[in-house]
């Protein structure tokens, strides 16, 4: 045992003496695998911590009211302009409170990184199959966290009551009214009467600072408890099985690494907030129902909804004197519902089809070894990307000087064709990479040396493979060099068909 390992064991035993609940030191010695992709969830966690700290600070100065006031602050272009108290307090935080603008921008950047880290973390779990038994519940918690983070981000984005966020609220009101039968009642309740009403900011505020954060913290806590209770997934390799986990112990190695990552996340977010302007509400001005700012774009995480709304043709149906707006209901209500339903159901469907639901799976799959799953993931990502591009079709049309209508039809075609094409190309690429890897493992790595055989022919010289990517298949390496192909080894794991 190395000196570092013995020291870690002694420290863990000392901690056990102080904390009888951790008797045996099993928790402090719990191993965590080392790989950069495993830190994506931690980035989300530390971004959430920044959100909580900056959000608490902002609550001391923000006024969630829609009563009309006249601006008298230090931003000269808006002096004397009538606006809501919410927008007035946002300007006050930005220009008159020491460090206020830095806090606002840190909060906004942390929100963007938080949602992005959750999304990337879910992609890592999906492509490596870390959602399989016994982690289906943790996958469902992660999907719920992602959904709640979208709602939390939209609620916070809408609070300043500026012209850009007000345009988003107008779209949200249209989505509500598109729901048959109950849509009008939902909109009246949310806005406190006929649009724009007087209550929407007042009602979004407790959602943003209390209910949704409470749900997020509770789910994150449950998620972490399950991570500790269940063994951490790891890549295949020598000594790694379904019954063990190799890596750094929780204390002190993993704790030190995680603490360093937390400081890095904090520093990067503050640095971004100091040098990269985001959401300059003073340039948009206060919200007015009769105006829409040119080139309005939401934050990236809801951009796919904007794109879906722009791509669906103006379909409407009149039923018994009532109009059903399919062009809003389908892209903004039905489509997100289907997407999240697929995410929730996928682990159970795949395991039933592959038969893996009978046994626990603690080793990560390499994406190339699961061509169908990887193809589906890439197809879904391309589908999302096309919708995100469609949300900026007017900006792209202006930049590239093409017709908005022509670009819309191109994106409609891409939404149908591109995901299927991405699936086929990805599946072929995964199979090709796996075959090339097996051949390389069987024949060895070319050395560049050419030698002549006894029959007068020429053949390349090879040497055994000695470097492996995480999870890559291996075989016992014997002999210094060989130019003769050997039997192709079977790749670990059960490939999907």
The confidence score (pLDDT) of residue 457 equals 78
The confidence score (pLDDT) of residue 459 equals 77
Indicate the helix (H) or strand (E) that contains 463.
strand 458-463
The confidence score (pLDDT) of residue 231 equals 81
The confidence score (pLDDT) of residue 10 equals 60
Do 119 and 47 touch, CB atoms closer than 8 A? no
The confidence score (pLDDT) of residue 484 equals 37
Cα 253 to Cα 30, 231, 244: the distances in Å are 11, 18, 18
pLDDT tens digit sequence for 92-129: 999 999 999 999 999 999 999 999 999 999 999 999 99
* 238 φψ region: left (φ > 0), alpha (ψ -120 to 50), beta (else): beta
Spatial separation of the C-alpha atoms in residues 461 and 451, rounded to whole Å: 7
Rounded to 10 degrees, the C-alpha dihedral 180/185/188/193 comes to 120
**CA 254 from centre of chain:** 23
Rounded to 10 degrees, the C-alpha dihedral 46/51/53/56 comes to -160
Q: Across 368-454, where does the E strand assignment appear?
A: 445-452
Do 281 and 86 touch, CB atoms closer than 8 A? no
The confidence score (pLDDT) of residue 410 equals 96
**CA 62 from centre of chain:** 29
The confidence score (pLDDT) of residue 482 equals 36
For residue 408, what are its two tokens? 């819309």
What's the chain's Rg over C-alpha atoms? 28
CA angle 10, 11, 17 (to 5 degrees): 90
The confidence score (pLDDT) of residue 489 equals 39
Question: Exposed/middle/buried for 345, CB within 10 Å: 0-12, 13-18, 19+?
Answer: exposed
Do 402 and 411 touch, CB atoms closer than 8 A? no
The confidence score (pLDDT) of residue 449 equals 75
Do 489 and 442 touch, CB atoms closer than 8 A? yes
The confidence score (pLDDT) of residue 17 equals 44
The confidence score (pLDDT) of residue 294 equals 62
Do 355 and 267 touch, CB atoms closer than 8 A? no
The confidence score (pLDDT) of residue 486 equals 37
pTM metric for this prediction: 0.85
Which parts of the chain register pLDDT below 50? 12, 14-24, 477-495, 497
């Amino acid at each position: 045992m190395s000196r570092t390992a013995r020291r870690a064991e002694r420290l863990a035993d000392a901690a056990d003496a102080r904390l009888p609940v951790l008797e045996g030191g099993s928790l402090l010695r719990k191993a965590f695998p080392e790989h950069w992709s495993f830190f994506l969830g931690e980035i989300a966690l530390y971004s959430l911590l920044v959100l909580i700290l900056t959000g608490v600070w902002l609550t001391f100065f923000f006024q969630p009211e829609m009563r009309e006031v006249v601006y008298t602050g230090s931003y000269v272009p808006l002096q004397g302009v009538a606006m809501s108290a919410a927008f007035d307090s946002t300007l006050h935080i930005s220009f008159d409170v020491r460090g206020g603008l830095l806090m606002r921008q840190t909060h906004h950047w942390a929100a963007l990184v938080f949602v992005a880290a959750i999304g990337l973390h879910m992609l890592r779990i999906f492509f490596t199959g870390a959602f399989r038994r016994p982690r289906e519940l943790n996958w469902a918690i992660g999907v719920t966290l992602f959904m709640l983070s979208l709602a939390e981000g939209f609620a916070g984005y809408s609070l300043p009551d500026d012209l850009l966020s007000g345009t988003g609220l107008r779209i949200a009101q249209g989505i509500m009214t598109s729901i048959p039968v109950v849509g009008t009642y939902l909109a009246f309740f949310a806005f406190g009467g006929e649009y724009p009403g007087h209550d929407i900011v007042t009602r979004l505020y407790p959602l943003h600072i209390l209910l949704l954060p409470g749900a997020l913290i509770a789910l994150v806590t449950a998620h972490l408890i399950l991570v500790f209770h269940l063994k951490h997934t790891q890549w295949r390799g020598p000594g790694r099985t379904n019954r063990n986990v190799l890596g750094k112990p929780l204390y002190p190695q993993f704790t030190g690494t995680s603490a360093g990552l937390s400081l890095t996340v904090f520093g990067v977010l503050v640095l971004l907030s100091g040098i990269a302007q985001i959401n300059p509400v003073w340039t948009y001005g206060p919200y007015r129902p009769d105006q829409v700012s040119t080139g309005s774009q939401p934050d990236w995480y809801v951009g796919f909804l904007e794109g879906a709304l722009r791509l669906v043709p103006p379909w409407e149906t009149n039923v018994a004197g009532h109009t059903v707006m399919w062009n809003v209901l389908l892209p903004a209500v039905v489509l997100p519902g289907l997407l999240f339903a697929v995410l929730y159901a996928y682990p159970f469907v795949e395991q039933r089809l592959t038969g893996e639901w009978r046994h626990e799976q603690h080793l990560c799959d390499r994406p190339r070894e699961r061509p169908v799953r990887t193809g589906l993931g890439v197809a879904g990502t391309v589908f999302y990307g096309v919708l995100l591009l469609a949300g900026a079709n007017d900006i792209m049309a202006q930049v590239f000087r093409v017709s908005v209508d022509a670009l819309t039809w191109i994106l409609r075609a891409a939404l149908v064709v591109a995901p299927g094409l991405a699936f086929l190309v990805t599946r072929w690429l995964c199979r090709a990479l796996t075959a090339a890897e097996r051949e390389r493992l069987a024949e060895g790595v070319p050395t560049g040396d050419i030698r002549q055989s006894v029959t007068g022919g020429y053949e390349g010289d090879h040497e055994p493979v000695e470097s492996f990517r995480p999870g890559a298949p291996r075989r016992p390496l014997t002999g210094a060099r060989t130019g003769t192909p050997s039997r192709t080894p079977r790749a670990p794991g059960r490939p999907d068909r």
